[in-house]
């Protein structure tokens, strides 16, 4: 990892810059802007999560989230510069909120495999109640 990239991630980890600022800086390092890839068609740029729930009274509730993949990649790398005690605390906090995620086991190559898989297909989950649906994909 380049020294500049490491510096940006350290500033993000220390709270000196926001995630949006870190993304802009990482894009500038990569010669891109606004999450655009320097090579057209070079692959997906966003993780999209869509949730739809019909409560039966009127219009269904919808959530549509687009997360820049650069932000996810930076987050995976950020764990490498996080102190072990901070990672442990974050794992405990995530566990209390119902998230079974161990940051120590998250590897960049696993993220790239997931991105490659989701760019070719989408995960559709139907809750079986005919009212709830979740879709996860990369675009």
Q: What is the pTM of this model?
A: 0.52
What's the sign of the alpha-carbon dihedral 114, 119, 120, 125? Answer: positive
76-126, pLDDT tens digit by residue? 777 777 778 877 887 787 677 666 667 677 777 787 887 887 777 777 777
Indicate whether 34 pLDDT > 60. no
Q: Are 58 and 45 in contact (CB under 8 A)?
A: no
**What ranges do the domains of the chain cover?**
41-138
Please determine, for residue 31, whether its predicted confidence score (pLDDT) is greater than 70: no
Residue 89 has which token pair? 């605390």
Confidence of residue 42 (pLDDT cuts 50, 70, 90): low
Crossing angle for the helix pair 69-78 and 108-120, to the nearest 10 degrees: 160
What is the chain's alpha carbon radius of gyration, rounded to the nearest angstrom?
A: 17
How far is Cα 60 from Cα 55, in angstroms, rounded to an integer? Answer: 6
């Amino acid at each position: 990892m380049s020294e500049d990239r490491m510096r940006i991630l350290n500033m993000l980890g220390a709270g000196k810059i926001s995630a949006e600022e870190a993304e802009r800086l990482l894009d500038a390092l990569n010669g891109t802007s606004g999450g655009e890839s320097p090579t057209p068609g070079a692959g997906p740029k966003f993780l999209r999560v869509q949730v739809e729930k019909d409560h039966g009274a009127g219009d269904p509730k919808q959530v549509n989230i687009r997360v820049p993949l650069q932000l996810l990649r930076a987050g995976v790398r950020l764990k490498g510069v996080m102190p072990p005690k901070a990672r442990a605390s974050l794992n405990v906090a995530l566990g209390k909120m119902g998230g079974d995620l161990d940051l120590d086991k998250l590897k960049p190559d696993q993220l790239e495999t997931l991105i490659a898989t989701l760019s070719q297909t989408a995960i559709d989950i139907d809750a079986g109640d005919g009212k709830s649906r979740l879709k996860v994909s990369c675009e």
